[in-house]
Every structure is written in C-alpha cells, then in structure tokens.
Chains A and B, each alone.
Chain A
Amino acid sequence: MTLRLTNTAKTFPDGTRALLSTDLTVDKGEIVSLLGPSGCGKTTLLRIIAGLETPDPGSDIWFDDDNVTALPVERRKVGMVFQSYALFPNMSVRANIGYGLKMQKLPKDKIDARLNEVMDMCQLQEYSARAITALSGGQRQRVALARAIAPRPRLLLLDEPLSALDAALREALRDELAILLREFQITAIFVTHDQDEAMAIADRVAVMSGGRVAQSGTPEELYRNPKSTFVAGFVGNAMHLDGKIKGKTLTLNGGKLRLSTDGSDQNIYVRAEDVQIDAKGPLTGQVETVTFLGSHYRVGIKGIMPSVLTSIYSGYNAPKVGETVKVMIEPNALILLPNQASGA
C-alpha cells in the first residue's frame, strides 16, 4: 500500500504546534523511519497516520486511493506496535495475537491457520499458552509484532519498538526486526530517536526536527550529503569546525586547512572518522582524552578549535593524554553547509 500525507499538521489544544504542515509519501513495501530527538513531532506524525490523533483541518491522509483522514483507528486496518507493547494482561500469548483476527470475525479454522503461520514466523509457538507477565522483554516485543501483523494490516506502524529493551538485546533484536519486516513484505513506518536503529532497519529515513521533516533519504544519502547543519549533527554526529574562512582556506586555532571549494558564508563540518592523527598533518593539538572502544580508540583533541575535536584512531599505539599530535583532514571529507540558523 502507498501512504500519502498532504498538508498534514497538528496543533494541540494548548496551542503547541507538534507538527507543522508536512507532506510525506511512503511507497508500497517501503520501510521508512521517522528519526529525531524527543519532541520533534515524530510520534505525533505516527499517531496521526494510525488515527490515534486527529490532524488539523486541511490535512489529508491517503491509503492508496482511499482518503482515511476521517476514519477512526479501528477502521483503518493498520497494525501498531507500541513503545510499551500494550499487550493485554488478561489474555495468553495466543489470545493476544489472535485478537485482531477475532475482531475480523473470521471462521475459527482460518484464525488458527493464520495464528500458526504468524507464530512460526516470530518463533513464538512454544510460548502460545503463556501469560504475558511470564515473558521476557524480547519475547514481549515479538508478541507485539506478531499481534500487529496477524490481521494482515495495510500498513505497519512501530513506535520506538526497541526502546524498552536493554542495550545488548536491543542490538540483536534490531537486526531480527529488520529481517522480519522484509519477510512480511509490508509498508512500514517506525519511529526512533536512535540513528543506528534507523539506519539498520529502514530503506529510507526521514529526519525530523521542530515539527517538520528536515531531510528524507536513504541512510547513505543522509550520512554523506546532509542538507542542513541539524541533519549533519544528528546523523553521524558531525562536528562544527569553528574557525575563520577566507576563500579556500579555513584558519583554526591549531592551524590552517585547505578546502576543495570556496567556503565563504559556509559552515564546515567533519566526522570523527575523517579526523586522522598523522605526523604530516597541518593541524596541531593536545590530546585531552583517550577512550578505548575495542575496535578503535576515541581521541579527544583540544587546541585545534574552541571545543574538543574527536578523532577515531584504529591503530595499536594510541597517543597518550597530554601528548601533542598532528592532525590531518582530507579536503573532500569536509561537509560544507550554507550559513543558517541551526535547525535543532
């Protein structure tokens, strides 16, 4: 199913403009992530699509050729996975997953067939008769997903589906979720504040900020070609190189950098993995912190710009704290963005 939103906005009764006028199209079978910090409007947008919030007048929501703007949630045929999972404590695992099918008043043998199919897919057969309270966090997440998918919804919506889990489990389930969503072959939208999660699961990421979509594209596009300082900072934590720009030269406290194009009226950003510690580098700074992260070190360097410049160092002999180091940044690794008010 293709989802199309036009001119969709939400103003809460207290006057808060949670979502500014937004247009969004999600193609059939596409998995889109709404990514942004808390309060950016991503959950509001998801709830409007679900039918759990009423958008402002003038908004239009289309599921293929049906205008569903006025339909209540129970008639939109969407599957929803809630942040807290919202599993029914009065029902067993099987009854939870079968609830949507029961609401469709399908014959019992059809319900059983679909239930077995979904529970096999989500590896839940052995927990069929269990109470919800007897499940672990990861199992609950799978039950919530199975319950949402069982009635064959037109659209699957997931609200921070992994945030209730602890860090180790979250990473394992992230990949599992990405595989399952593709197996279901369903149009899906999921909300997250975790960029790794968004990149790992989604075909396309819509970065949101201040109630609007700041930029939407594949994870690679967003990472390599951010269109605003907010997106550059939020996706991949690019650092602002704060210095004086004259033509093709950027002058920092710790030395001068060559730019590939004229940098006047631009903000210049760089990512930690592009900051190389190299004896031949043009910038000079002092190591302030060294953090060992297994596959690499994170080295914080001061003296190059007013704030700390972070470098990823993957060699064996990391510099020591207090040491003076030379730093190099390739001109094509710099991200140039026009001067503008920060979107954050």
Chain B
Amino acid sequence: MFKSKTKLLQLTVTLTACAFLLVPMILSVLAGVTANYFQGISSGFTLKWVFRVWELYADSIFLSMWLAFSCLVVTLIIGLPAAYGLARNPGWFSRILEEFISLPLAVPGLALALALLQLYGSMKGFRASWTFILVGHVLYTLPFMVRSILAVLAAMDLKTLEEGAASLGASPWQRFRDIVVPNAMPGILAGSLTVVTLSIGEFNLTWMLHTPYLKTLPVGLADSYASMRLEVASAYTLVFFVLIVPLLMAMQWASARAQRIVS
C-alpha cells in the first residue's frame, strides 16, 4: 500500500512537471494553427499563419541557417587545431588558455555584444554586414567546439598513437589527417551540432548586434511578438520548433556517443 502510494506521488510529480513544461508550448503551437485565436479552436485549423510567417520572415530563416553554417566552418577551422594543441601540450599554460577561451560562456551575451560594438562599431561596412554577427556567434560557440573535441582527444593516448604513426613514416600533417581527425570524430560531431544549435537559437547577443536588414530567426521571433498578431507570432514559434528540435535531438545523440568514448 505504502509502495503504491509512493509510486502514485512520483507519477503525479512527474506528470505535473511535464505539464508545466509542455502546456505553454502546446498552447502556443496550437495558437499558430488556429484560424482565430480569440474565438478558440472552434474557429478551425489553418496553415495560413505559417505561410504568412514564411512570406514575412523567410530571409531571417535563411540568414540564420547561413550564419550557423559559417559559424560551424569558422569554429572548426579554429577549434580543431586549438583542441589538438591543448591536448598535445597539457600543463598549466594550456589550462589557462582553455579557461580563457571559455570566458565568453561566463560573460552575459549583452556585455560581449557591447564590447564588440565599442571595438568595431565605427567600422561602418563591417558593422552593417552579416559577418559582424558571425564574429559574435563564433566567440560564443567556440568554447563548446573546443571542449567537446578536447574531451575526446584527452581520453586517448594521443601522443603514443602519433608516435606509432610517425615510426611508420607519417609526416606531422599525415598524422593529423589519418590519426587525430578520425579519432576525434565523435567529439567533432558533437561539437558541430552544439555549435549549429546554439547559433540558430542565439538571441541575447544577436539582438544587440543585428541591423533592421539582418534579422536572425530568434530576432525575427521577437519582432513578430512585438509587431504581428498573436497567431503569426505563434506560427513563428512552430516554425522555430520544427527547425531547432531535430537539431537538439541530434546534438544529444552525438554528445552521448562522444561521452561513451570519454568514459
């Protein structure tokens, strides 16, 4: 009796927590496909608002995807060699450097954006270009890429593996290409998905850096909430979910895979 009561309590708490998280999302998504929100569901379902979002904000969606892709390329080009360097030269200096790279995580996005504006704000061409937002995104996502790869590299005996390849005649570049990169792959994959997901969802910093002609997906979302009718804003949320949820799930799958190698 006591046991089933405990079970019942656990179930109630779990369901309440789920409802707490899910109900607002479901309501919001439902509002996006309801013909008239003020009349309720009885007014019927429609995809009109979703199409409307597409008409109004397709540019934002493409900009966000392009930004996420560019951000991924840049963080890979910087992050992979950085993680490799840190893994090959462990010590206090590497530890400090790693903390330094991670600093943007601790600083609020607004402060980071303000710093960027102070430094580059007067460079008109750069300030108004999408690369300005890219710089912000790279600063913010780079630590995730570096740490993800570093965790996988640190878990294997990289030095001996490389010595093995060297004794077989492989040059430093061949060792990096044939040994380091393939074995770091789980970390690279997990890091890449994290970077893309974060870049697409980033609002805080982007909102400070954006111009009226450069609205990313989340900035467009804020814009639609502020200036469109509720159904359009809700439909926007739906579009956002459709883009971000598969990425989120892929990211968790990749992280779990990388975690298995580390442990």
Contacts and interface: CB of A to CB of B under 8 A. Distances in A.
B55 interface: no
A268 interface: no
Contacts of B185: 90
A80 B164 contact: yes
B174 A73 contact: no
Given A82-B160, A86-B157, A73 B166 contact: yes
Interface stretch (A96-104, A174-182, A236-244): A96-104
Nearest to B171: A74
A100 B168 CA distance: 5
Contact of B169 (A88, A89, A100): A100
A90 B179 contact: yes
A84 B179 contact: no
Q: Report the interface size class on chain A.
A: 20 to 34
Given A99-B168, A103-B168, A104-B169, A82 B179 contact: no
Given A82-B160, A86-B157, A86-B161, A50 B167 contact: yes
A207 B94 CA distance: 39
A50 B167 CA distance: 8
A80 B156 contact: no
Given A73-B163, A90-B183, A103-B174, A84 B157 contact: yes
Nearest to A157: B167
A39 to B, nearest CB: 19
Interface in A80-116: 80, 82, 84, 86-90, 99-100, 103-104
Contacts of B178: 88, 99
Interface string B168-183: 1111001000110011
Interface string B127-164: 00000000000000000000000000000110011011
Contacts of A73: 163, 166-167
Contacts of B179: 88, 90
B58 interface: no
Contact of B170 (A74, A77, A82, A87): A74
A148 B165 contact: no
B183 A151 contact: no
Contacts of B171: 74
A190 B58 CA distance: 67
A147 B183 contact: no
A225 B121 CA distance: 83
A89 B157 CA distance: 11
B161 A88 contact: yes
Given A84-B157, A86-B160, A99 B165 contact: yes
A78 B170 CA distance: 12
A65 to B, nearest CB: 21
Contact of A84 (B160, B167, B174): B160
A86 to B, nearest CB: 4
A50 B170 CA distance: 14
B260 to A, nearest CB: 12
Contact of B166 (A74, A87, A151): A74
A235 B168 CA distance: 34
B169 A82 contact: no
Contacts of B183: 88-90
A90 B169 contact: no
B166 A82 contact: no
Contacts of A104: 169
B170 to A, nearest CB: 5
B91 to A, nearest CB: 13
B256 to A, nearest CB: 18
Contacts of A74: 166-171
B143 to A, nearest CB: 26
A52 interface: yes
A72 interface: yes
Contacts of B166: 52, 72-74
A55 interface: no
Contacts of A89: 156, 183
Nearest to A75: B169
A86 B164 contact: yes
A211 interface: no
23 contacts: A50-B167, A73-B163, A73-B166, A73-B167, A74-B166, A74-B167, A74-B169, A78-B167, A79-B168, A80-B163, A82-B160, A82-B163, A82-B164, A84-B157, A87-B164, A88-B178, A88-B183, A90-B179, A90-B182, A99-B170, A103-B170, A148-B167, A151-B169
Closest 9 CB pairs between A and B? Answer: A86-B164, A100-B168, A103-B169, A90-B182, A80-B167, A86-B160, A73-B166, A74-B166, A74-B169
Given A52-B166, A74-B170, 7 more contacts: A50-B167, A78-B167, A79-B167, A86-B157, A86-B160, A99-B170, A103-B170
